[in-house]
Amino acid sequence: SQTIHQWPATLVQPVGSPLSLECTVEGTSNPNLYWYRQAAGRGLQLLFYSVGIGQISSEVPQNLSASRPQDRQFILSSKKLLLSDSGFYLCAWQGAGSFGYEQYFGPGTRLTVT
């Protein structure tokens, strides 16, 4: 069966520090991968999605970036964090070629920028 992992689970970082969040998927090949951010008590904002290795689509201009160095690995990064980057970051995957169908979410990373 398929499993999605995210780490770390929680993170507290000072303003201006770098960020690296990792997401890996097991049990499937060539998944579509997504990064979302959720502010407290709000819905999900799509940040990036990827349909293959090295292919990244950005939805929101910001100081974050994403990379997909391997088929089942999706990384969210920042060179310098802002206070506004605080939030709950969720990674999700979807079966290859199945845009528009259900997404499967990881457990999330809660980021607090101080």
Task: Identify residues 36-75 at the interface with another protein (CB under 8 A).
Answer: 36, 41-44, 46, 49, 51, 57, 59
CB of 91 to another protein, least distance (A): 8
Question: What six digits make up the tokens of 24?
Answer: 């890996």
CB of 100 to another protein, least distance (A): 4
* Cβ closest to another protein, residue 26 vs residue 59: 59
CB of 10 to another protein, least distance (A): 10
Q: Could you identify the residue written with the tokens 């607090």?
A: 112
List residues binding another protein (CB under 8 A): 32, 36, 41-44, 46, 49, 51, 57, 59, 88, 90, 92, 99-108, 110
